[in-house]
Amino acid sequence: MVDRDGLENRCTLTGTQGSNPCLSANYGLQASRPAKIYINTMKIKIWADFACPYSYMGEKQLFDIIAKQGLSDKVQVQFLSYQLDPTAPVIPKETMLQHFMHGHEYTEEQSLHLMERITTMASRLGLDYKLSTTQVCSTFDAHRLMEYAQATSSQSTAIKLNFALFHANFIENLRLSDRAILLSIAEKCGLNSKEAKAVLESNQYAEQVKAEEKEIDSRPDFDLIPYMLFDDAIALQGVISPAAMKKALYGTDVS
């Protein structure tokens, strides 16, 4: 099972199968019951972290496919919390580039090369990553805010907030542990400002975040994030191909 002692053990970003829950060169596909042709509303659970560049890419790819296939009104998505590093500081001590060099003992050249590869992957999905200046910090409050949004708002608002948080981290390089920044993002996404502020200034939804992390850690097949569970039947995780996502949605190969 996954070693959760530190960020380097769970988001190594090296592409080594099974080394961490953030990246794999392959994807997992397990079915616990026979696949079916997609007709009724499908429930998709997604465990991810706003600090994981592959989570952002995986979710962007999934929602692009859902939109292009005309399935937006047939899919119910639940975003579930998973912190790559629960010990990440509230006040950032380093950028992702510095973390690669210090935490993983990569050279600057190796780190920049790896980031270039990830950035190229993201660009194919229309995402303009700025990884070298992304700040390494706690995402705990961002997850709590996401839990609040899903509990009190429409799915469209929750989806908007979800992608706004990813965008703020990897493209705008804003500090996701800054509650003022989180509140500003929440307001722009249409959440109630007073309620969101009250959530951020309290410990609301903290236990829910921890429970969701415990739930995914207890799954015997869990190795990587993003981890997507389609109708509690098919699990996809890590770097996932579009074909695998379509097959999970329809229960059969789709061109």
Query: How far apart (Å, rounded) are the C-alpha atoms in residues 55 and 48?
Result: 6
pLDDT digits (tens, 9 = 90+) for 40-90: 789 999 999 999 999 999 999 999 999 999 999 999 999 999 999 999 999
Q: How many other C-beta atoms can be found within 10 angstroms of the C-beta atom of residue 241?
A: 13
Phi, psi of 92 (to 5 degrees): -60, 140
Percent of the chain with pLDDT over 70: 83
Least confident among 9-13, 125-129, 181-185: 9-13
Confidence of residue 255 (pLDDT cuts 50, 70, 90): low
State yes or no: pLDDT of 11 exceeds 60.
no
The full 3-state SS of 42-60, as one line of letters, equals EEEEEEECCCCHHHHHHHH
CATH for 7-250?
A: 3.40.30.10
Pairing assessment for the beta strands 227-230 and 27-31 based on DSSP bridges: unpaired
Contacts of 42 (CB under 8 A, 6+ apart): 71, 74, 75, 76, 230, 231, 249
Alpha carbon distances (Å) from 252 to 37, 66, 248: 7, 15, 7
* pLDDT of 7 above 50: no
Predicted confidence at residue 190, as pLDDT, reads 97
- The pTM score is 0.86
The token duo for 23 is 């990246």
Lowest-confidence pick of 28-37, 59-68, 78-87, 218-227: 28-37
Better-predicted residue by pLDDT, 40 or 209: 209
Task: Give the pLDDT band of residue 167 (cuts 50, 70, 90).
Answer: very high
Picking from 32, 5, 33, 8, the residue whose alpha carbon sits closest to that of residue 19 is: 8
Domain ranges of the chain: 7-250
